[in-house]
Structure 1
Amino acid sequence: MVLKNATILVIDDDVDVLTALRLLLKPLFKEVVTEKNPSNITSQIERTNYDIIILDMNFNGLVNTGNEGIFWLNKIRKQKPETSVILMTAYADIDLAIRGLKEGASDFLMKPWKNEKMIETISTILESKKSNTSKTKSLNSNSVEIIGESEVMNDVFVKLKKVAPTDANVLVLGENGTGKDLIARALHDNSNRRDKPFVKVDVGALTASLFESELFGYKKGAFTDAREDRKGRFEAANGGTLFLDEIGNIGLGQQVRLLTVLQNRQVTPLGSNEAIPIDIRLICATNIDPKTLADEKKFRKDLIYRINTVDITVPPLRERGTDITELSRHFVALYAEKYNKNPFTFDSGFISKLKKHDFPGNVRELQYVLERAVIMTDGSVLKPDDLVFSSIERSTSSTSLETKSLNLDDIEKNAILTVLEKNKGNVSKSAKELGITRAALYRRLEKYEL
């Protein structure tokens, strides 16, 4: 489902929330309707078939105080069962939100929300809805392949092949956007646990108060609003794989609790004295430099040894050489199908412009850049002008004089790119400035596929 064709209804009794969401979502979607009074939900959804409803969990009314969101969720599900509902809640109401998921909500978000997370959640739901009604390949499919033929990626594949069939704990390292979650999923899908649960937790986003209840579960009455027993993520992943993302962001207190569970291979839910045995394969990921993890003031070494039987470093896109060409073909074909466009070809300068960019956001950034290009172009040939990088992206582009890699090929490639950029693509001037002949420069352009 194309974002621009989607309609959204936002229901919240806070006018400031409605205004903020309308300003955020209006440029991205076909229609964004806001409603302050939840009593009007029935008439609203009777008049219009909304693709997504964003529903606050608490209102100032007297309907099931504390459970208003559940009440109205059930109303919506009964009247329009095909409509996806995203619940919005404060941290104090997380148990209600989880109950909402059981009642049929598609997802929930915490207040205050992050704009990027809000848009990502909506997009994921729309993609899922489309995949259920067509054969369009979903970007969020677990079967998305890891593309790459570069030497650094071949090293990753070799490790994957050796490690996946084992039960060894794995620490996946790499910058944001490199695809650490895909590596984690590939480890699970190629393991002996592939038919068991794969449970992902962004532990870096959990507050200290939520960490234990989310991971280890709790018993009814363990704390205020603990109205029923709830399994933690460890227990939910029993027999399968538990993927703890952003492990480097948890505090020392949380590290101690995690270490205890991993040593004893059992969890004790909050409010219980009974330990539950667990059998999981643990995969962790972080974008934090290993040197920082080695600082005992920030991360316990005994925990590192527990989670890091084997480490796999996912290289940044700028170090993957010709992979950018294959990735570009893959994403362009994917988005051409998604947006019902004819297949695209590349102008000679299209890939060259991509390779000049440093891609600080890595594969994720490349993906979004190419999606914009596919959406905005009117023809069937993608040209350099179809590539638009944001000011943030351009500020860290490889056209900078700073050379991040000390590899000789990388240094030479970056020097060529810098001089070509300076001379606006003039080969003769660039060759003269580099101190080589035109023929020598052409050979190097061919070598680096520039």
Structure 2
Amino acid sequence: MADKIGKILAVDDNADILFALKMLLKPHVEIIKTETNPSHIPQLMEEDDYDVILLDMNFNKDAISGTEGFDWLARILEIDPAAVVLFITAYGDVEKSVKAIKAGASDFIIKPWQNEKLLATIWSAIRLRKSRLEVSSLKERQIGLSSIMDQPFADFIGVSPGMQRVFSTIQKVAATDANVLILGENGTGKELVARALHRQSKRCDEAFISVDLGALSETLFESELFGHMKGAFTDAKADRPGRFELASGGTIFLDEIGNLSLPLQAKLLTVLERREVTRVGANKPKPIDIRLICATNMGIKQMAAEGGFRQDLLYRINTVEIDLPPLRERHEDIPVLADHFIKIYSKKYYKKVNKLSGAVLRKLTNYPWPGNVREFQHVIERTLIMSESDTLSEHDFQLNVQSAPSEGMELDSYNLEEVERRIIEKVLKNNLGNVSKAAYELGLTRTSLYRRMEKYGL
């Protein structure tokens, strides 16, 4: 026999009806509670949660109109808006039962009933109750998450002047529909800025769609961003909206926009200018209403000056720029971030860790953090996992300190800027001018390397 499921409350002034229901349902449900007096309903609901309430439409007070049944239906739903109520009604009361459904009842059972049909109705009602509770739980969770997310800059923190400027700009720009370009090295939190802009905008209740343009191939670009029609290409088995359609009414975040080839930049520019997309395989365009936020870790202005990025597209996407400082320029934020992540991972891994000592903080501050806050976060997490003590020392933190490449170079000057210039020049030459490969070899991001190349005129 299948496991018993569900708690049922049956309320009817006819004891014979209640006895028949109890005999029928007892083998199938966890609990079947019967009651002849409807005035006991509030107390019964306070004492237990019922998946289904079977409620007679007519009681002694008003034997034929059904008014008392309607009154108790309203009272039940007032106590528990997610309650599932099934009216028990005579054949002649079907019209009233239909009205009751409009008033909030889930279904009705006609007397005399057919056992199989009654059981099927109750199983459906139990599933409905479960569904309502899940929806209610999700709503409560969403409200809770929203209350956390609505706190200004809940996801990223900083007390340094550079971060305070970032926060100030976000507060000024968020409520507008201005296009925003976020600049910064890998790991500085560009997507966090984009999400903060969305959460504080008038579009906060609509979709936030994030797209990593660096991960899209040339062939997938149009299908992913603009959508496609069934049969447009071999794997197009159904109509599918693109990211721009999904984001309509809300915000679209285009990360790594500096990676787009010139032909794809032209297609993107057309969409942004016309505010409409045409799915692959379709003839008719669809209007879109989006707030555009872009980000890149590349020297996009230098790319535009050299012809690697369209000037007209750059003008379109950077109504406002937000430049995120790298962590090595935010020394004031190291203790704050350390405390923040220690609290998170101490709780996650059930560890009690004391605040970091001055020696540890000096070590963390002196490290250049090429991976920025993302690397910092991972280092804190890894250190807490591996540590066996409540007190973390500087020896617990394993940092990837790399020495500058000097093999094959003779230095005739010890001026640091001149040494750096010559190293960068040599690595670029060894990599045939490939900035990405040179940056990787130097342990820098492309943005950092571009800045140094601009500084030294390389």
Listed one character per residue, the Cα deviations across residues 124-155 of structure 1 (whole Å, up to 9, x for unaligned) are xxxxxxxxxx9xx99xx967422101111111
- Matched AA of 2:245: E
**Superposition pairs of residues 199-348 of structure 1, within 5 angstroms:** 199-295=209-305, 297-348=307-358
Q: Which amino acid aligns with 1:248?
A: G
Matched, 1:351 2:372: no
Extract structure 1 runs of 4+ deviating beyond 6 A.
Answer: none
Deviations along 1:39-58, one digit per CA (max 9) or x if unpaired, are xxxxxxxxxxxxxxxxxxxx
User: In the TM superposition, what are the counterparts of 1:46-445 in structure 2 within 5 Å?
Assistant: 144-295=154-305, 297-390=307-400, 393-395=401-403, 402=416
1:331 positional shift: 0.7
Relative to structure 1, is the Cα distance of residues 403 and 325 closer, same or farther in structure 2, using a 3 angstrom cutoff? Answer: farther
Deviation at 1:401, TM superposition (A): 8.8
Asked if the contact 1:336/1:344 (under 8 Å) is kept, the reply is no
Shift of 1:389: 1.1
CA distance in 2, matches of 1:403, 1:179: 29
SS in 2 for 1:243: strand
Instruction: Give the Cα–Cα distance (whole angstroms) in 2 for the partners of residues 355 and 163 of structure 1.
Output: 32
Question: Is the Cα–Cα contact under 8 Å of residues 220 and 226 in structure 1 kept in the other structure?
Answer: yes
CA–CA distance in 2 between the matches of 1:330 and 1:401?
A: 38
Distance 1:292 1:337 in 2: 44
Q: CA deviation at 1:344?
A: 2.5
Aligned positions of 1:10-21 closer than 5 A? none
1:105 corresponding residue in structure 2: none
Return the alpha-carbon distance in structure 2 between the equivalents of residues 262 and 142 of structure 1.
Answer: 29
What value does the CA root-mean-square deviation take over the aligned residues?
2.4
Q: Is the 8 A contact 2:254 2:294 kept in 1?
A: yes
2:443 aligns with none
Q: 1:395 to 1:274 in 2, by over 3 A?
A: farther
Distance in 1 of aligned mates of 2:267 and 2:316: 13
Percentage of identical aligned residues: 53
Q: Distance in 2 between matches of 1:249 and 1:295?
A: 16
Query: What's the secondary structure of 1:285's corresponding residue?
Result: strand
CA distance in 2, matches of 1:321, 1:356: 9
> What SS does the corresponding residue of 2:244 show, helix, strand or coil?
helix
Secondary structure class of the residue paired with 1:283:
strand
Deviation at 1:295, TM superposition (A): 2.6
Q: What is the alpha-carbon distance in structure 1 between the residues aligned to residue 238 and residue 325 of structure 2?
A: 44
Give the secondary-structure state (helix, strand or coil) at the position aligned to 2:236: coil
SS in 1 for 2:305: coil
TM-score, reference length from structure 1: 0.56
Unaligned 5+ runs, structure 2? 1-140, 405-413, 419-458
Say which SS state the counterpart of residue 381 (structure 1) adopts: coil
Measure how far apart 1:402 and its partner are: 4.7
| Alpha-carbon distance in 2 for matches of 1:170, 1:403 | 34
Tell whether the 8 Å contact from 2:353 to 2:392 is kept in structure 1 after alignment.
no
Q: Distance in 2 between matches of 1:300 and 1:361?
A: 28
Structure 2 counterpart of 1:271, one-letter code: G
SS state of the match for residue 293, structure 2? strand
Q: Distance in 1 between matches of 2:205 and 2:417?
A: 45
CA deviations on 1:48-91 (whole Å, 9 max, x unpaired) are: xxxxxxxxxxxxxxxxxxxxxxxxxxxxxxxxxxxxxxxxxxxx
CA separation in 2, counterparts of 1:403 and 1:376?
38
Question: Structure 1: which 5+ residue stretches go unaligned?
Answer: 1-133, 405-450
Please list the CA deviations of residues 279-300 of structure 1 after superposition, one character each: whole Å capped at 9, or x if unmatched: 0000000000143332352100
In the aligned structure 2, how far is the partner of 1:401 from the partner of 1:325? Answer: 32
* Alpha-carbon separation, structure 2, partners of 1:395 and 1:161: 41
Q: Are the counterparts in 1 of residues 257 and 295 from structure 2 also a CA contact under 8 Å?
A: yes
In 2, Cα distance between equivalents of 1:403 and 1:173? 25
Kept in 2: contact 1:284–1:307 (CA 8 A): yes
Q: What is the rounded CA distance, in whole Å, between the counterparts of 1:356 and 1:235 in structure 2?
A: 46
Deviates more, 1:359-368 or 1:284-293: 284-293
Query: Does the 8 Å CA contact 2:328/2:372 hold for their aligned counterparts?
Result: yes
Q: What whole-Å deviation, never above 9, does each CA across 1:136-182 have from its counterpart, x for those lacking one? A: x99xx967422101111111111101000000000000001101010
Aligned to 2:436: none
In structure 2, how many angstroms separate the alpha carbons of the residues matched to 1:395 and 1:246?
Answer: 29
CA pair 305-226 structure 1, distance change in 2 beyond 3 A: same
- Go from structure 1 to structure 2 and tell me whether the alpha carbon gap of 1:199 and 1:323 turns closer, same or farther (over 3 Å shift): same
SS in 2 for 1:201: strand
Matching residue of 2:15: none
